[in-house]
Chains A and B, each alone.
Chain A
């Protein structure tokens, strides 16, 4: 082995051994607690899939198609799924009844105004003092300017406030983009799969944008982005902290400094507030099992996702990729159920 290869191996090795050695003890269990069986069975699953799909290729085994754009080649899959998607039945009035959205109005003044008969911001439009401000707010709570309406709410409300769920009811159901990504690590490693589901007609269209290799990442991001740009509101699970900034960072890695300004419903934040009672943790898998009653039969621990993907990259065998694609698809569809559940608990429950 050459000297440089040996150094490269040290880099790889140093990283995997690192955790055990820094503690100065042999106790690796201090840093992570692998439910040993899950890892072993995932390994068995991978070997089985490699065996099963030996000699086959992705394009013939799945509905993925090759796409070319300005940045090169990427893979795209489109699958219509029969699944209802409903949005809350809200009207602007449900949000505008909160007079505190007007700068200068606090709890006390709101109470006084309500007693005087001003029950929504719309009523305030002709008020001698608050009229101008009320008017400018009232105007944005309609179809064409919901992004501005979202910004006004952002000024006063935390992201887990139910007014955001109410706001989502003002969008067309076909404006929604449910997003979930799969990455090779947790900070600045490549993204290889971007899942995007959006309601169409009766059901939901699931799109998966896949980088067949790291070199296709930018083309894949571009393909995903062009779809997302047609949609109005993003719905994710922890996407406010993870998925969306991650995508933005990867774009900036390729010299594209764009940010996504879409209104964003991060269901993780609502779940933590509303559904976490009596639940062990707020991982999507846990919520699925305990609250939505979904049980995945073919799932792999997320920490092994990069390894499965790498096995696909190296071997070209689509087998190890299939559980990741299924996992990502299921995440998107579970978010639909979770969204409905949250609406039930909040907005729809009120009425």
Chain B
């Protein structure tokens, strides 16, 4: 059946109540092909495989062959991987000493890339000994890999630790011709800035061993690819962004489940999956959580003997491979997945992609949508909007979605909180020579490190003089390091980080794994193990948490006209106090939980809103809590442009105090110990609040929208929010702090 007919037929289903809010038709596009030069053996290989290069691929190859650093940002499934593998293999074929380093953001992606590289290697009849080298690589295999592998695949976390052992990598680094960084859109904000510092440290090592490899980057579409590539590596780049692969027509539906209140949004997602699969369409459904991936797979009915599979992080590699293979061969007709399938995993194109819940960024949305489309056939994307203001806004304003810019990737190499740790690492690797630029000069930072005897300045440069391991003191991201092993009869079923275990592997939780339900018998935090048993129950559980924030120490404060602004150390705690037992979306029972709170200490800026302002606001019939909450969101949305970070690097909290009066808005760093963003907010608050007032007051929306007060990561589903209340508060603050939001 044609996609168009399937959509018409869908409208005839008993559970159809005009949920389709919008249909966007993305026209088909003819392919353009191009020529590139490479070794005859590669030419033979491509002919053998029946591959003809699209013009964007051949352009990328030619630019790389011309010695340019290249960033490729064409969409998923446009052949990015081949475009950078051809010139790399071409070089390795002709230069027997030449090496290449591939860097992927996750271990799973590294393994996936290894398969791809091995396939090409086989096809070319080469012996390059490509290997993954990461935390899972056994110690005994490492020397052999460093010596014999001409392609090593690793990740930034590993490299961060390996660099100080560079003398063991002398041969590899000294003969390195290419560094391939894939999925670089994930290197943004604090994490990305840390990765950028790792890359600069790597560059010093290359210099030390007299190599100067070319960089090849690949990324999802972002607003500022050239700027990002330069910030990340310190080099100039050529951009390849135009996609010349062929594309069939794509139908993009906006689905509003609220029009049919009998079924929850998740339930309707399951129905959509079943419906498309039963019409012979291979379907991939993206969900917002691991649990939803399992539930949707469970709730959807499969096709003939092929059930809907789940796919998510935490699965064992062989389980993942199986699903990937099944999708490629077409044996698997439907998969419910988390964004683990959003990145470069090779699964081929699908007939239908369902995006169940707005994934938080435009970049992600298009990455996921890009999975739909195979050959010249029509394909279908369905965005199922959830019951929150942000999703609903996009459903009602499709142009805001389709015309919206992709997000910016922001990096900050001036944040001393980030750079100083890496300077200590750099000095562990090689002395930091006087006036040496590691991206830039960091004289003051080096002086301060010397002041604390972490470095010692000598004629040979600044030497590391600490007694600790610098790389162990620097974390690249804020992912919880504790891994809980889930054991079934003593065998490893899967792994998850601690917060995930709090949500999904607490005592008596139902844990879904590949369609089977397990009941957690015990979560042992000491042993970092959850013991489960297999038990089919007809309910599932959901843990309920509440966040609280406690000020530990105020480091600085300023006060102006009754508005207090503070900076200090806080402790953010998440209490998991209860869990619900649910059947579909109905709560059937609630039980208490006995778990210590998940806590982290960080730095925070907070400012107070006087009681007089809030009571007046309430007298006028507005919602003070909604007003404070809205300001919190809007401030956070603007902070990345002031403190050079990612929205996901910061957290917020607002509270209306009773009975002492007034309200507080807190902006904190989502990193243990703080990373300097909140401190920047403290310094720039007046300016930031003025921009916030402009942003909200000038926004054309009625009651709020994603451009002003809706947050894509609100723990409270964007409620309560009061746009007018926010404007009222900000105007009153402006009177005291000296701004009016009109640039005066």
Contact A4 B448 (CB under 8 A): yes
Question: Residue on B with the closest CB to A218?
Answer: B460
Tell me whether A22 and B420 are in contact in the complex, defined as CB-CB below 8 angstroms, given that A10-B673, A188-B164 are known contacts: no
Q: Which residues on A sit within 8 Å (CB–CB) of B673? A: 10, 14
Interface string of A246-279 (1 = CB under 8 A from B): 0011001111010000000000000000000000
Q: Which residues on A sit within 8 Å (CB–CB) of B481? A: 22
Q: For the complex, is B456 an interface residue (Cβ under 8 Å from A)? A: yes
Q: Kindly state the separation between the CA atoms of A213 and B449 in the bound complex, as whole angstroms.
A: 16
Contact B167 A11 (CB under 8 A): no
Counting chain A CB atoms within 10 Å of each CB, which of B170, B429, B453 scores highest? B453
Q: For the complex, is A33 an interface residue (Cβ under 8 Å from B)? A: no
Q: Which residues on A sit within 8 Å (CB–CB) of B672? A: 21
B538 to A: closest C-beta gap in Å: 33
Tell me whether A23 and B482 are in contact in the complex, defined as CB-CB below 8 angstroms, given that A3-B679, A190-B464, A257-B170 are known contacts: yes
- CB within 8 A of B448: which of A5, A218, A248, A314? A5
B132 to A: closest C-beta gap in Å: 23
A92 to B: closest C-beta gap in Å: 32
Contact A25 B679 (CB under 8 A): no
Q: For the complex, is A38 an interface residue (Cβ under 8 Å from B)? A: no
B505 to A: closest C-beta gap in Å: 14
Contact B463 A190 (CB under 8 A): yes
Q: For the complex, is A144 an interface residue (Cβ under 8 Å from B)? A: no
Q: Which residues on B sit within 8 Å (CB–CB) of A72? A: 459
Q: For the complex, is A24 an interface residue (Cβ under 8 Å from B)? A: yes
Q: For the complex, is A8 an interface residue (Cβ under 8 Å from B)? A: yes
Q: Which residues on A sit within 8 Å (CB–CB) of B452? A: 5, 8-9, 11-12
Interface string of A183-220 (1 = CB under 8 A from B): 01111111000000000000000000000011101100
Q: Which residues on B sit within 8 Å (CB–CB) of A257? A: 167, 170
Contact B464 A12 (CB under 8 A): no
Contact A253 B430 (CB under 8 A): yes
Q: For the complex, is A306 an interface residue (Cβ under 8 Å from B)? A: yes
Contact B167 A8 (CB under 8 A): no
Q: For the complex, is B334 an interface residue (Cβ under 8 Å from A)? A: no
Interface string of B440-465 (1 = CB under 8 A from A): 00001101110111101011100111
Contact A4 B463 (CB under 8 A): no
Q: For the complex, is A310 an interface residue (Cβ under 8 Å from B)? A: yes
Q: For the complex, is A151 an interface residue (Cβ under 8 Å from B)? A: no
Interface string of B381-425 (1 = CB under 8 A from A): 000000000000000000000000000000000001100110010
Q: Which residues on A sit within 8 Å (CB–CB) of B431? A: 253-254
Q: For the complex, is B93 an interface residue (Cβ under 8 Å from A)? A: no
A224 to B: closest C-beta gap in Å: 17
Q: Which residues on B sit within 8 Å (CB–CB) of A310? A: 453, 467
Q: Kindly state the separation between the CA atoms of A95 and B416 in the bound complex, as whole angstroms.
A: 61
Question: Residue on A with the closest CB to B424?
Answer: A11
- CB within 8 A of A8: which of B449, B525, B526? B449
- CB within 8 A of A214: which of B165, B429, B463? B463
Q: Kindly state the separation between the CA atoms of A306 and B672 in the bound complex, as whole angstroms.
A: 27
- CB within 8 A of B526: which of A10, A25, A188? A25
Binds A, one of B240-248, B364-372, B468-476: B468-476
How many interface residues does A have (CB within 8 Å)? 45
Contact A11 B473 (CB under 8 A): yes
Tell me which residues from 1 to 30 in chain A have a Cβ below 8 Å from any Cβ of chain B.
Answer: 2-5, 7-12, 14-16, 18, 21-25, 27, 30
Q: For the complex, is B70 an interface residue (Cβ under 8 Å from A)? A: no
Q: Kindly state the separation between the CA atoms of A248 and B170 in the bound complex, as whole angstroms.
A: 13
Question: Residue on A with the closest CB to B674?
Answer: A10
Contact B428 A24 (CB under 8 A): no
Q: Kindly state the separation between the CA atoms of A111 and B452 in the bound complex, as whole angstroms.
A: 67
Q: Which residues on A sit within 8 Å (CB–CB) of B468? A: 12, 15-16, 185, 189
Q: Kindly state the separation between the CA atoms of A336 and B421 in the bound complex, as whole angstroms.
A: 43
Contact B473 A15 (CB under 8 A): yes
Contact B456 A8 (CB under 8 A): no
Contact A7 B420 (CB under 8 A): yes
Interface string of B129-168 (1 = CB under 8 A from A): 0000000000000000000000000000000000011110
Q: Kindly state the separation between the CA atoms of A310 and B456 in the bound complex, as whole angstroms.
A: 13
Q: Which residues on B sit within 8 Å (CB–CB) of A186? A: 469
B163 to A: closest C-beta gap in Å: 10
Q: Which residues on A sit within 8 Å (CB–CB) of B430? A: 253, 255
Q: For the complex, is A299 an interface residue (Cβ under 8 Å from B)? A: no
A218 to B: closest C-beta gap in Å: 6
B595 to A: closest C-beta gap in Å: 11
Q: For the complex, is B734 an interface residue (Cβ under 8 Å from A)? A: no
Question: Residue on B with the closest CB to A14?
Answer: B473
Q: Which residues on A sit within 8 Å (CB–CB) of B463? A: 190, 214-215, 217
Contact A189 B466 (CB under 8 A): yes
- CB within 8 A of B167: which of A5, A21, A185, A248? A248
Q: For the complex, is A307 an interface residue (Cβ under 8 Å from B)? A: yes
Q: For the complex, is B498 an interface residue (Cβ under 8 Å from A)? A: yes
A140 to B: closest C-beta gap in Å: 26
Contact A27 B420 (CB under 8 A): no
- CB within 8 A of B498: which of A4, A24, A184, A306? A24
Q: Which residues on A sit within 8 Å (CB–CB) of B458? A: 214-215
Contact B460 A11 (CB under 8 A): no
Contact A185 B498 (CB under 8 A): no
A57 to B: closest C-beta gap in Å: 20
Q: Kindly state the separation between the CA atoms of A189 and B295 in the bound complex, as whole angstroms.
A: 51
Question: Residue on B with the closest CB to A21?
Answer: B672
Contact A185 B445 (CB under 8 A): no
Contact A249 B473 (CB under 8 A): no
Q: Kindly state the separation between the CA atoms of A4 and B444 in the bound complex, as whole angstroms.
A: 8
Contact A307 B472 (CB under 8 A): no
Tell me whether A7 and B525 are in contact in the complex, defined as CB-CB below 8 angstroms, given that A15-B472, A16-B468, A213-B456 are known contacts: no
Q: Which residues on B sit within 8 Å (CB–CB) of A5? A: 448, 451-452
Q: Kindly state the separation between the CA atoms of A9 and B421 in the bound complex, as whole angstroms.
A: 11
Q: Kindly state the separation between the CA atoms of A12 and B472 in the bound complex, as whole angstroms.
A: 11
Tell me which residues from 653 to 709 in chain B have a Cβ below 8 Å from any Cβ of chain A.
Answer: 672-674, 676, 679
Contact B460 A189 (CB under 8 A): no
Q: Which residues on A sit within 8 Å (CB–CB) of B469? A: 15, 185-189
Q: Kindly state the separation between the CA atoms of A2 and B555 in the bound complex, as whole angstroms.
A: 11
B174 to A: closest C-beta gap in Å: 10
Q: Kindly state the separation between the CA atoms of A215 and B420 in the bound complex, as whole angstroms.
A: 21
Q: Which residues on B sit within 8 Å (CB–CB) of A217? A: 463
Q: Which residues on B sit within 8 Å (CB–CB) of A14? A: 473, 673
Tell me which residues from 154 to 203 in chain B have a Cβ below 8 Å from any Cβ of chain A.
Answer: 164-167, 170
Q: Kindly state the separation between the CA atoms of A24 and B595 in the bound complex, as whole angstroms.
A: 12
Counting chain A CB atoms within 10 Å of each CB, which of B449, B459, B676 scores highest? B449
Question: Residue on A with the closest CB to B475?
Answer: A14
Q: Kindly state the separation between the CA atoms of A237 and B222 in the bound complex, as whole angstroms.
A: 56
Interface string of A49-66 (1 = CB under 8 A from B): 000000000000000000
Q: Which residues on A sit within 8 Å (CB–CB) of B166? A: 252
Contact A7 B416 (CB under 8 A): yes
Q: Which residues on A sit within 8 Å (CB–CB) of B465? A: 184, 190, 214
- 28 examples of A-B residue contacts, CB within 8 angstroms: A3-B416, A4-B444, A4-B445, A7-B448, A7-B676, A8-B448, A10-B417, A11-B420, A11-B473, A18-B472, A21-B672, A22-B482, A24-B596, A25-B526, A27-B526, A184-B465, A184-B467, A185-B467, A188-B164, A189-B466, A213-B456, A215-B458, A215-B459, A215-B460, A248-B167, A254-B460, A257-B167, A257-B170
Given contacts A11-B449, A24-B596, 17 further A-B contacts (CB under 8 A): A2-B448, A4-B416, A8-B449, A11-B420, A11-B474, A12-B473, A18-B472, A24-B525, A25-B526, A188-B469, A189-B464, A190-B464, A214-B458, A214-B465, A248-B167, A249-B165, A306-B467
Contacts from A to B (Cβ < 8 Å): 2-5, 7-12, 14-16, 18, 21-25, 27, 30, 72, 184-190, 213-215, 217-218, 248-249, 252-255, 257, 306-307, 310, 314
Contacts from B to A (Cβ < 8 Å): 164-167, 170, 208, 416-417, 420-421, 424, 428-431, 444-445, 447-449, 451-454, 456, 458-460, 463-470, 472-474, 481-482, 498, 525-526, 596, 598, 672-674, 676, 679
Closest 5 CB pairs of A and B: A4-B448, A215-B458, A306-B467, A252-B167, A8-B452
